Amino acid sequence: MRSSTRRLIRQDNLKGLAWGLGAKTVVDRVYKADIPEKRKALEMLKTEFSKLHSRTDWTKLRVEPLLQHVKQLEQRLKSQSSTRLTKGVRLFHSDLVYLRENVNGLKEILQSEKKSLQRRIKAPERRGR
């Protein structure tokens, strides 16, 4: 094998190693920061939904299952080695997207429920006049 071929192979291996290190820092930075952030947002939503007397129990229906999912992800982040995490970056990314979408959707539902509650409170006042 010629030295130029060996050099190219070595460069390819280094690029792969650099990508692996980059993936590790992405896992460290993004997931270790975003997942606790989503947990806090879900806990806030849980308290906000508990203040409302909605016809749908959003806390049991969506918030609590999502909180359990977040806790499982946090446990995986703490327990598994970083090599496993870098191999599963796509899976963690899809979990993060799933959490973001659900938290945003629950925030919209919360606003809608608050408006609905305000309308229900004002409706009996109008009938009484």
Give residue-wise pLDDT tens across range 68-116: 999 988 887 777 655 555 666 677 778 888 999 999 999 999 999 999 8
pTM (predicted TM-score): 0.69
Mean per-residue pLDDT of the chain: 77
- Which residue spans within the chain are E strands per DSSP? none
Percent above pLDDT 70 for the chain:
63
Round to whole Å and give the CA distance between 108 and 124. Answer: 25
In the numeric block, the tokens 């309308």 are attached to 119
Other CB atoms within 10 Å distance of the CB of residue 94: 11
